[in-house]
Structure 1
């Protein structure tokens, strides 16, 4: 059955007058009569009784009326939901993220998304940058929040946060009272680093920073998460260079000291497939940028 015919049928059933029904439908009366006969022929049932006194529904017409209204309501609902998904106001987003994004505005961005788009569902998967890229390419993720990494040709990217590395020291470390330190002062320290297997870019970036200051670091531990890095520092297992955002983790017995001079920054990027695209990617991107620029997410002045 065509939805158009059902719409004509319901209108006539409500008006019980061909002239008034045709006026509501913005058509002339003959096409309405033809449409009703076409529907009756298709169903092999008489839907209306017509006589000199007017029009009334038959038993078959009464039965169809309730079902036709349901079908038309479902059709309108499906159309509206489709428009909402296309416009990014509702739907489903599969988001990959690295652990440090939890201290770089992601919770605030998700909260804003929930307030402005309560019909959106976000499923989250924590994974390293390389695993997330595979998830995008294999259509298992719609969006990824990753560390600095070169995206493949079919993947779009946008910088969300760029912030300095800072020295992460145990609270009782001799350098912990300094307002800023020279990286070379850590040359005799045992370094705790991100694993080269999990994030070769970050591992190499920090290693190169040390080499640029005249020493090859003694790497004591390699771990998979930034939170594990600073946890080991708090336990006195060594020192580290971490993104400034990690000071927000709130672990005890830690001090974060800015580094003197200019150094490469720690970056977090959003990545997504160019096609097929998910409109919710742009919606969450706007929330991420707003969270990164809000006063609550800016770095303390001492770390600039």
Structure 2
């Protein structure tokens, strides 16, 4: 049984007239009659009792009409769902993100996605950059929001923002009253850092900036979460270099100062596999990332 035959039968059964059904379907009446006869032959039963004035359903026809309406409705629903999925309007988009992006950037992007594609389910996972790259490569993530991915990785890299780096200081620190500090002034400080084995890219980026400023970074304490790092700074165990978005985390005894070095920025990017770059939900995300989501210029993040 073909969907076309079922559609023809339902039209005749509802109109109880071949001419009106043919007009409704915009087909020739002989072709319509031929398809109904073919359907009856396939089912080996009479579906319609034809008279000179009207058409009546047999018991078998009544059953097929009820079932046929449901089948046609499901077919239409499937067609619509496929079309919306192809356009990126429904389905699931699996996004990874670094923890520091969760404070400002991720909420803006998710809000914009839901406004633009309300039928799209967004599945969010917090992961380090390296774990995101592995998950994108093996297909368990569609797209990632990562830091310090500048070298070729075999993935599509779309630069999202150049975020200033700050120095977080205990409120009792001699430099705590300053609005800006040069990295070279931190040469003798103890640094609270991520374990390099877990967050190697940001760790190496900050270490390279210190080396460029003329000294070797001296880690004193380690923590795996930014709030913990900032808590240790507030407790006076050292200082930390953090992305500007962390400024939103305000703790007693903690202050932030701008790093007055032009290279003191962290690079955020959207990353996906090349074969997923044209996937509608992914391209929508990249498009939204290029737009001004919060009144700032695209390509910068000064929140």
- TM class, shorter-length: over 0.9
Q: Is the 8 A contact 1:105 1:288 kept in 2?
A: no
Cα gap change, 1:25/1:48 in structure 2, threshold over 3 Å: closer, same or farther? same
Q: Distance in 1 between matches of 2:293 and 2:237?
A: 32
Report the count of equivalent residues: 299
Scaled by the length of structure 2, what TM-score is found?
Answer: 0.92
Aligned equivalent of 2:25 = 25
Root-mean-square deviation (CA, aligned residues, Å) is: 1.9
Deviations 1:58-92 (A, max 9, x none): 11111111111111111111111111111111111
Superposed, 1:122-271 pairs within 5 Å as 122-149=122-149, 150-153=151-154, 155-271=155-271
Deviation at 1:249, TM superposition (A): 2.2
Q: Distance in 1 between matches of 2:280 and 2:145?
A: 17
Aligned equivalent of 1:294 = 295
Q: Distance in 2 between matches of 1:252 and 1:114?
A: 35
Q: Is the 8 A contact 1:194 1:222 kept in 2?
A: yes
Is the deviation greater in 178-187 or in 217-226? 217-226
Aligned equivalent of 1:282 = 283
Cα gap change, 1:245/1:83 in structure 2, threshold over 3 Å: closer, same or farther? same
Q: Is the 8 A contact 1:137 1:273 kept in 2?
A: yes
Deviation at 1:129, TM superposition (A): 1.0
Scaled by the length of structure 1, what TM-score is found?
Answer: 0.92
**Which 4+ runs in 1 deviate beyond 6 A?**
none
Q: Distance in 2 between matches of 1:284 and 1:142?
A: 11
Deviations 1:168-199 (A, max 9, x none): 11122110101211212211111012222122
Q: Which runs of 5+ in 1 are unaligned?
A: none
Deviation at 1:137, TM superposition (A): 1.4
Q: Is the 8 A contact 2:168 2:242 kept in 1?
A: yes
Q: Which runs of 5+ in 2 are unaligned?
A: none
Deviation at 1:293, TM superposition (A): 4.7
Q: Is the 8 A contact 1:187 1:216 kept in 2?
A: yes
Deviations 1:106-145 (A, max 9, x none): 1122122223322111112111111111111111111111
Aligned equivalent of 1:71 = 71
Deviation at 1:167, TM superposition (A): 1.0
Q: Is the 8 A contact 1:157 1:271 kept in 2?
A: yes
SS at match of 2:95: strand
SS at match of 2:89: coil
Q: Distance in 2 between matches of 1:151 and 1:97?
A: 19
Deviations 1:279-301 (A, max 9, x none): 2112223333446552599526x
